[in-house]
Structure 1
Amino acid sequence: MPQLHAQPYDISANGFYFGSLEEYADKARNNRNDYGDPVEEYEIQFIDGDHIDCDLAKAWGINQANIGPYFEASESWDDHDKSVFIIAVGDAGYSFDPDSVSSSDFDVDIYHVDSMKELAEQFVNEGLFGDIPDHLANYIDMDAIAYDLSMDYTETEVAGERLIYRAA
């Protein structure tokens, strides 16, 4: 579970760490500044957790209003769903409603390869260009196919892993 920090905008108040929406609500309700006034506004910062949850928090744009749905997504989504969201919102510019978001809302194809050339080789091996006779296989220009693929596919990194994606 991710560990977050609520940093008050009020310089006379102390922040606090939390790991759930309930813990945040409890600590925020009881937090006071040096003058005894309640603290109302916080910057929410990702502190600790899995690398993919950190990338998810960044793409999510965590703040006071959307940390509940962020916690739900970080707990219930698998790494693929998180990667789809991170790429769609963080790289491809999709928008989302935090209260009703699902990774299936985004049309993103992800390939776990390190380069366009590797993606080209995968597509050829999977038969995307039809059945290629063995005596012609050496004449296929993988670099040219990789170049063509780079017009529709994009390389990125999510949680330290290189990925190639296509977003519709």
Structure 2
Amino acid sequence: MTQLHAQPYDLAASGFYFETAEEYTEKAAKLRNDYGDPVEEFEIQFIDGERIDCALAAAIGLYQSNITQFFKAVEDWDDDQKTRVILAVAECGYDFTADTQPDDFDLEIYPVETLRELAEQFVEEGLFGDIPERLQFYIDYDAIARDLGMDYAEAEVAGTRLIYHCA
């Protein structure tokens, strides 16, 4: 279960923990400061949950206005979809809106640790054509990796290293 905390900007009020958008709405509506005035603005903090969900919260900039979308994404999206949104929003500059879906973004993601590994994968997959076995020992994978570095970047999402390309 994902747990968040609503920390009021009003110093005369105490925050609260919540695990659903409905619980947040209910508790926020009832909250009053020490003077009996309603509290309207909160900083939303990620407290407990999966690492990937914490990364998603950080990437989208968790606010009062997107709590519902965040909880829906946590429940409905798999880890690959969350990773796609995290990279698109945090690294590629896309926006996270009320109707954002993981398939909205045009990016390529490779589960490799380094650009050199990606270069080796591309050669193995035949991206550079059919290379005779006797010549494969002469391929400069480091040079290919440097070239790939012009279009591809490295990132870590929830402890997993990835290479990605924003289109």
Give the TM-score range, shorter chain: over 0.9
2:66 match? 66
1:121 match? 120
Cα separation, 2, equivalents of 1:134 and 1:43:
59
Cα separation, 2, equivalents of 1:138 and 1:112:
24
TM-score, length of structure 2 as denominator length? 0.97
1:83 match? 83
- State the identity as a percent: 62
Letter in 2 for 1:122: Q
Superposed, which structure 2 residues align to 1:6-155 within 5 Å? 6-97=6-97, 99-155=98-154
- Structure 1 residue 130, shift from structure 2 partner: 1.5
- Structure 1 stretches lacking a partner, 5+ long: none
Please give the secondary structure, in 1, of the residue aligned with 2:46.
Answer: strand
Cα separation, 1, equivalents of 2:5 and 2:96:
24
Cα separation, 2, equivalents of 1:66 and 1:95:
12
Cα separation, 2, equivalents of 1:93 and 1:131:
36
Cα separation, 1, equivalents of 2:78 and 2:126:
29
Cα separation, 2, equivalents of 1:75 and 1:26:
20
Please give the secondary structure, in 1, of the residue aligned with 2:14.
Answer: coil
- Structure 1 residue 96, shift from structure 2 partner: 3.2
- Structure 2 stretches lacking a partner, 5+ long: none
- Per-residue Cα deviation, 1:14-73 (whole angstroms, up to 9, x for no partner): 100001001101111121111222211111111111111111001111111110011101
Letter in 1 for 2:148: L
TM-score, length of structure 1 as denominator length? 0.96
Please give the secondary structure, in 2, of the residue aligned with 1:14.
Answer: coil
Cα separation, 2, equivalents of 1:39 and 1:142:
58
Letter in 1 for 2:58: K
1:5 match? 5
4+ aligned runs moved over 3 Å, structure 1: none
